[in-house]
Amino acid sequence: MSTAVPAKHSDAASLVSNTIGEITRHIRAHELGPGDRLPSEAALSRQLSVSRTVVREAFSSLAAMRLIDLRVGRRATVAELDYGAMSLVIEHGVHTEQITVQQIYDVRRTIETRTAMLAALRRTADEVERIRTHALAMRENFQRPEQVMEHDLAFHLEIAKAAKNPVFSLIVGAFERVSRQTWPIGWRSRPSDAKQLEMIQIHIDLAEAIETGDPQSARDLMARHFDESVKALLAAGIA
């Protein structure tokens, strides 16, 4: 490489994006799965005739999308599915005013009425337990909004997981960062303790419907939950 000619070869795009392509191709070609190790930066640098700088930026980009994991001293490894990147994309869309909160609620309603239904059909005993625990913890801690929010988020994520389709988990997770920022608004927009407890009660009922294995009821409760939430948000002026 030090001796290599200026190269000129290959596709137009930048060296970094080519390198990203090469790395993903490597993963595919060798059928690597989560946890499997990739070549070292130096090795790739030699192999692809680019500087380590370029390889590093490629790795860095892949890590940003959570396709690989990087840790100092260790080789890069293939990552498990992770919604971190998607969550950042959605957050960015909201902050740059390309997406409204209401639009997110519409999508969530569409997705989560389905996950609620599927969860009622496919849940395991463990999952039911976790789902119910989160719902009850919401009521328990209802004086501490922060706690309620965490359990609320975990509740929805757990239902998605119980639906046994990782793509649903990915999407529900994608809204996490934004939800964390808009949740307090919705909470404050419920004018009384009674209204807040009412909202929490829907979660508890939903957990029960999933436990019972009643998909229709689970579906309806989830739909009602979102309808109520949107109403609350609109009342708070987040149109």
Q: In whole angstroms, give the CA distance from residue 131 to residue 120.
A: 11
Residue 8 or 143 having the CB closest to DNA: 8
Q: Which residues contact 219 (CB under 8 A, 6 or more apart)?
A: 113, 114, 116, 117, 120
171 binds a copy of itself (CB under 8 A): yes
Least separation, in Å, of the C-beta of 128 and a copy of itself? Answer: 22
How big is the chain, counted in residues? 239
d(CA 214, CA 70) in angstroms, rounded, equals: 43
> In angstroms, rounded to a whole number, what is the distance separating the alpha carbons of residues 226 and 222?
6
- The identity of residue 178, as a single letter, is V
Report the residue from 22, 52, 99, 215 that binds a copy of itself according to the rule CB under 8 A.
Answer: 99
CB 156 within 8 A of CB 172: yes
Q: Which is nearer to a copy of itself, 85 or 236 (CB)?
A: 85
Toward DNA, which CB reaches closer, 72 or 125? 72
Among 42, 167, 234, 235, binds a copy of itself (CB under 8 A): 167
Catalog residues that contact DNA under the rule CB under 7 A: 1-2, 4, 7, 14-16, 40-43, 50-54, 56-57, 59, 70-76
Q: 25, 24, 23: which is closest to 40 by C-alpha?
A: 23
When asked if residue 197 is in the footprint of a copy of itself (CB under 8 A), the reply is no
Binding site for a copy of itself (CB under 8 A): 16, 20, 24, 27-28, 32-34, 53, 56-57, 60-67, 78, 80-82, 85-86, 88-93, 95-99, 103-104, 106-107, 110-111, 114, 165-168, 170-171, 174
